[in-house]
Structure 1
């Protein structure tokens, strides 16, 4: 803190903040009234370290490099995300990256679902829609993370097809309803993928943009957080996620030029992935076990609806 901000920034209190599955987050309060956030990408505290160690992720979203690249990219385009004060990737004193980041005072966007004033809700979600229009409208002819842009040889939806196969296999081992219908679910996945036509235009997406990944300050300005997984990709991947995460408020975020076949494929992929994700959090000691159990259960029901179960 002293090295980055100066000798007047004396730490008074450090508080662990909850919610992250791939990094540890702390709030730092200083005696002079300043508050910031410390991000720590410690692989030993990552709930998906097994997948990372086995090479099941395309990059290293738990590290600081992608955070820095995506932070710079978004900020330059006027898309709000907490400011980066300092990033340390030396790994000389500690075996992990860490960063000091702006603290955004305010709730997550999901809190505004229950807001009494419809004008306030409209103002917030319209701003978020404008930010997404900027991101998704910045197109490239190749897909991939900013650190490996254009280096992925396969179509991006085929990466998700492979991932869905892996996640379905995990879920089938640990949830009876999925295990009993694994072959039907796999057939449906392949059927939806077969409808997709080739494409060579990709927008910049967050990758996991739920209302819990949007902070809102006292000026009603939304900030995107957990941006490490952002990349150029099919924007339908994002919109199919936004659709069920934002519910009725998706109307402020929707895009009328989306590919319906891709939307359906990615929607199904999300359900399969989140069944597995919820189960892994449940099995690996995630603090909110009720959330993990409900996540897996809700998406299992949604996936089974695709095959009429």
Structure 2
């Protein structure tokens, strides 16, 4: 795909509309890491800056993959998902970048866009690696934010925007969504990697055993879905600011904590996690391992600039998937 990204001249009308005719774009830098939407730092001629999100086909590196209608983790990208998630997190008193403007109609660049506060470039991940003492305060505050999210119940599982407009129609237990998703991803991976192909039946049996150990439950809360320290910005005042939250959904808290355990590693206890169902947690943990093989292998087949990193991530999780056997 021949991708063309935005340049400063492309945003002149947007800047004039949002900030006044006397303001001009001084620079427009596409930030690295975005794979589903374009994320740009827009610097203005008065030395201020904002962040521009652009949801356009040319900004999305992910090829489509089959998914059931009630899968709350499929296709987590779009201005409608962003708006619903931003509103829900704000209502739960969870710090997110302040929303300055939202245009889902494509008046600019033929794409849905949002302008948000520039909360800075310091991530919690960078602090944890370079200055663990400075990371202590935002880690504790993030734990408090997570407890507020996980005390915000929903009527069913599903993305907030989809529940609001009737698109989410859950017809099976949440753990069966995870089971079927994991088995589908396993089948896709087995077709790409000989080791996973050879182990397919044993892995599938392991996933089914994990599912059988999970007791029925219907208690759904706000879940970010992919919350790692790279998805948390830290302001100069030490506030953690959640980003990349279009995948926000009502689901089991164990899904969140399986991811948090993996991404925060030794720092995870600093989040002061809530009590969890260990069987549900283990099913979700292993399902996420399979997802972190299938997704990286799928995007590695595109022109995504981080292809090598994705292949290394898949390899790391192939080892984890096979280790239980």
Q: Tell me the TM-score range normalised by the shorter chain.
A: over 0.9
Is 1:102 the equivalent of 2:117?
A: yes
Match for residue 197 of structure 2?
Answer: 179
Is 1:65 the equivalent of 2:80?
A: yes
Q: CA deviation at 1:178?
A: 1.0
1:113 to 110, 128, 142: 128
Say whether the 8 Å CA contact 2:104–2:111 is kept in structure 1: yes
Q: Which whole-Å CA distance do the structure 1 matches of 2:241 and 2:82 have between them? A: 14
Say whether the 8 Å CA contact 2:70–2:170 is kept in structure 1: no
Match for residue 163 of structure 1?
Answer: 181
1:74 to 77, 81, 89: 89
Provide Cα deviations, 1:221-244, integer angstroms capped at 9, x if missing partner.
Answer: 111101100011000000011001
- TM-score (norm: length of structure 1): 0.93
Match for residue 124 of structure 1?
Answer: 138
Q: 1:5 to 1:155 in 2, by over 3 A?
A: farther
Q: Which whole-Å CA distance do the structure 1 matches of 2:58 and 2:130 have between them? A: 39
2:150 to 123, 132, 136: 136
1:200 to 218, 226, 232: 218
Note the residue ranges of structure 2 that are not aligned, 5 or more in a row: 1-14
Match for residue 231 of structure 1?
Answer: 249
Is 1:255 the equivalent of 2:270?
A: no
Q: Which whole-Å CA distance do the structure 2 matches of 1:143 and 1:15 have between them? A: 37
Say whether the 8 Å CA contact 2:149–2:221 is kept in structure 1: yes
Match for residue 289 of structure 1?
Answer: 307
1:18 to 12, 28, 32: 32
Q: CA deviation at 1:19?
A: 0.3
- TM-score (norm: length of structure 2): 0.88
Match for residue 27 of structure 1?
Answer: 41
Q: Which whole-Å CA distance do the structure 1 matches of 2:259 and 2:289 have between them? A: 9
Q: 1:159 to 1:14 in 2, by over 3 A?
A: same
Q: CA deviation at 1:70?
A: 0.8
Q: Which whole-Å CA distance do the structure 2 matches of 1:51 and 1:197 have between them? A: 30
Q: CA deviation at 1:305?
A: 1.5
SS at 1:293's partner residue? helix
1:2 to 10, 16, 38: 16
User: What is the aligned-residue RMSD (CA, Å)?
Assistant: 2.0
Q: CA deviation at 1:7?
A: 2.3
1:39 to 47, 53, 65: 53
Q: CA deviation at 1:106?
A: 3.1
Q: Which whole-Å CA distance do the structure 1 matches of 2:296 and 2:260 have between them? A: 18
Q: CA deviation at 1:95?
A: 4.2
The number of equivalent residue pairs is: 306
Provide Cα deviations, 1:34-53, integer angstroms capped at 9, x if missing partner.
Answer: 10111111134322242279
